[in-house]
Amino acid sequence: MTIEVDAAGIWDSEAIADVAAATFPLACPPGTTADDVSAFVESVLSSERFAEYLTDPTRTVLKVTENDVILGYAMLVDGEPADPDVARAATLRPTTEVSKFYVLPGGHGTGIATTLMAAVVERARAAGRDALWLGVNQQNVRAQRFYAKHGFARVGTKTFRVGSQVHADFVLERDLRGAVR
């Protein structure tokens, strides 16, 4: 298996939206309604939205592929956290948000996510960032274990809206200055 990670281009927006639609529901806690997931996917994860993300200079979308098939993606957002709860919790600057980080279910446990995370860290370090931060649902224990394995530590909490529902997330931060927090 030859896995490659590269920056996505606008031509990838439809394929990434398909991966997003397949993976986002898996990260939602039990009790999230299908209508709320569908509303979120349509408003935030559509191919039109990815086309916008891919032309936004503050965002980088990395795709992980095998034989030119997209198996997962990460979206990084440079700059100050807009959410005041995150700004208080994630204190290292300059920082980059790992806004989205998903791998198709068939790729779980294969090293694909680890390869993608290594590329995320490499890109943030190359951009001169001191830290990465992300939000992860408090009930998504599998993702929390993955992020802890990759040097992220819980530093706070925030809310995250999916359709009409508000969910509780942990804010995780990774120090890129050398020491793992």
Domain residue spans of the chain: 3-175
Q: 29 in helix, strand or coil?
A: coil
- Predicted TM-score (pTM) of the model is 0.94
Tokens of 67: 């034989």
Q: What is the pLDDT of residue 40?
A: 96
Give CATH for domain 3-175. 3.40.630.30
Tokens of 48: 């039109």
Residues 6 or more apart whose CB falls under 8 angstroms from that of 66 comprise 1, 2, 3, 4
Backbone angles phi, psi at 5, to 5 degrees: -120, 130
Q: What digits encode the pLDDT tens for the residues 16-25?
A: 999 999 999 9
